[in-house]
Structure 1
């Protein structure tokens, strides 16, 4: 009489933050079935995650944690460090960059408030190229809200001006000044 040893094999399918555990009871002849089942489940989980990623509509809004006037150096990146929403995780409040998580058309907006008697020039840059300017003067706000076509991985950022016209500029902190983007369509 032939003895079959029954084995308990546990296969873990790991993908990003999802873990799926499959327990398969098998003998020496059927263990390959468990491996095939695990591979099939892993493929299906990956397909489901890819579909979910396509359905995400990235969006973020961030402003300054600190209130009052914030002095700016020429070419300084404005780091809006208080995040209100960050769907898709593309905005980094440590660097000020929005790294596009999904290719498509985005509505990008920014409002900055200038100091009394002073000018304020800030640029939206996409991958180090100037896209548009927000300009404010004497406590007025400079703003823009424009559609931007972006590829996955493109980087958007708000940068203080660098021209000879830039002299002792500062931006109003708190929620008065902000940077945001929202995915519109593929």
Structure 2
């Protein structure tokens, strides 16, 4: 009985041992399978880790490149900031210049407006002056025509005097001369009428402008002068070193004045025309018009030869 129990217990132990061994084997197989599985997973993880390391290395390279690029970008950004700051400065200067230009433009517009007003006023004044000059020119032409008529009458009178003279009086004297061009006369300057029309016995000298009485007698003298435009002119008829009469024309435009004088002279007395103003004055004449002239003649001698 006891042997049976021993055998039974041994059998139980053997069965339990076999079950345990079987279980252990299965567990071992399972562990091996799991180990193989884990080994494969570990290998895969290692491959992934290696790939990750490679990728990480590439990322590090790219990161370094990115850092360099970022640094370059920072440099460029700083340069751009400086340029932008300079642009702001230039923009501010441009704004100030534009503001100044606007002020100057406004000032120019106002000045232009003032100039237009002044131009319009000047045009009106020019029109008035033109009208006035036309009227003055008409009056001057009428006066010139009168001077010419007086000159012609004087010539006719001289011719009549020549015809009516005592042919035995060889000392009869007469002259007429005009100025061929305008001239500025100094203070006290003697006027030299250089174009001789008549010079009986040649007692008038056109070089000096002086007439010398050839004998005692009564003489007639006449002088017509024209002013320059808007000028005045005073001239005296001189006898030796003494003034006699004067003429003083002068207003707007050209003006003429005429003096006439009868003088009793002695032989050798000097008669001439001098500028009588206190400063330089202009006398007007033309070679084809002869506006300014000087003449004289012996009316009658007071003694025999």
CA contact (8 A) 1:109 1:179 kept: yes
- Which residue is 1:104 aligned to? 217
CA contact (8 A) 1:122 1:158 kept: yes
Give, in whole Å, the separation in 1 of the partners of 2:209 and 2:179: 11
- Which residue is 2:183 aligned to? 70
CA contact (8 A) 1:58 1:102 kept: no
Size of the alignment, in residue pairs?
131
- Which residue is 2:249 aligned to? 136
Q: Does 1:171 align with 2:286?
A: no
Which runs of 4 or more aligned residues in structure 1 lie more than 4 Å from their structure 2 counterparts after TM superposition? none
TM-score, normalised with respect to structure 1: 0.66
Q: Does 1:180 align with 2:292?
A: no
- Which residue is 1:118 aligned to? 231
What are the Cα deviations for residues 86-126 of structure 1, in whole angstroms up to 9, with x where unaligned?
01211000000001112211110000001122110111100
Provide the secondary structure at the position in 2 that maps to 1:102.
coil
Provide the secondary structure at the position in 1 that maps to 2:215.
coil
Give, in whole Å, the separation in 2 of the partners of 1:119 and 1:147: 25
Give, in whole Å, the separation in 2 of the partners of 1:53 and 1:180: 24
Report the aligned-residue RMSD.
Answer: 1.8
Provide the secondary structure at the position in 1 that maps to 2:191.
coil
Aligned-pair CA distance for 1:162: 4.1
CA contact (8 A) 2:233 2:277 kept: no
- Which residue is 1:57 aligned to? 172
What are the Cα deviations for residues 141-186 of structure 1, in whole angstroms up to 9, with x where unaligned?
11111111111100001000143xxx44211123110010011112
- Structure 1 unaligned regions, length at least 5: 1-50
CA contact (8 A) 1:74 1:162 kept: yes
Q: Does 1:159 align with 2:274?
A: yes
Give, in whole Å, the separation in 1 of the partners of 2:226 and 2:189: 16
Higher share in helix: 2
CA contact (8 A) 1:121 1:135 kept: yes
Higher share in strand: 1
TM-score, normalised with respect to structure 2: 0.41
